[in-house]
Amino acid sequence: MKKITEKEALDLLLQDIKDKKDLTKPENKWILHSIYVGLAARRIAQALDLNESFALKIGYLHDIGRRINHFNHPIEGYFYLKNLGYDDIARYSLTHSFLNNDITKTVGIGPKDKESYDFINNYLQSINKDLFDNIIHLCDLMCLETGFTTIEKRILDVMTRKGVSENSYSHYMDLMDFKSWLEISMKKDLYDLFPEIKKEDLDNRLLDKALLLELIKPKYLTKKK
Ligand SMILES: [Fe+2]
């Protein structure tokens, strides 16, 4: 198994970018997003006294599968990194899409075809959970291509593209549980680690949460008229 350096991880992420201007192209949005995920993961790792450098590298490369195939990017990224010999970071390409390594805890509808579903499900069940799996999942859900934001704003952004499923509500609730656990462990509010988040996004948190819950709440929570 090969170890990757921070520079090698960033170079791998930026390998198709010949000119800085290319980063602003719509098809490369995921690259800027990945840089922010790396930076966010490093900050959280630092607050938890975990390996910051490892967090940065796995954040940079969590979406590398998007180079190959957008929809199947967790599987593509896993094999891409594994084939390069980076077995220790390949797992996060797969695990980052699923909170608590549970295939039902994802934003959107999850793997569409049975082969992908079975492969991911078997893989998630075959590994021991580690904290970095959930840290990358959470960072993925607070980073746009323009920078850090609130979880609610980012999930609304993802859902407009990926849709809502019957699991969206329980995913969000479990994500809030993980966020609370992190905050207790770090002894600080998550968003205090990210002073760059726009005031407007923080001010709109309750409104965004209400919009999100309206989209994802199960029928039994709908008020009778
Ligand atoms: Fe991502």
In the chain, where are the structural domains located? Answer: 6-218
CB atoms within 10 A of CB 21: 9
Q: End-to-end alpha-carbon separation of the chain, Å?
A: 60
pLDDT at 191 over 90: yes
pLDDT for 50-92, tens place per residue? 999 999 999 999 999 999 877 789 999 999 999 999 999 999 9
pLDDT of residue 108: 76
Whole-number Å distance between alpha carbons of 64 and 52: 20
- Give the residue from 161, 138, 149, 151 showing the smallest Cα distance to 213: 151
CA of 76 to the centre of ligand 1 (A): 13
Residues paired with 147 in a beta bridge: 144
pLDDT of residue 189: 97
pLDDT of residue 87: 94
> CA 7, 91, 67: angle at the middle one, nearest 5?
60
pLDDT at 42 over 90: yes
- The reported pTM is 0.94
Give the pLDDT mean for 117-130.
95
CA of 224 to the centre of ligand 1 (A): 37
pLDDT for 136-163, tens place per residue? 999 999 999 999 999 999 999 888 877 8
CA of 225 to the centre of ligand 1 (A): 39
CA of 30 to the centre of ligand 1 (A): 7
CA of 28 to the centre of ligand 1 (A): 12
CA of 17 to the centre of ligand 1 (A): 18
pLDDT of residue 165: 87
pLDDT of residue 223: 62
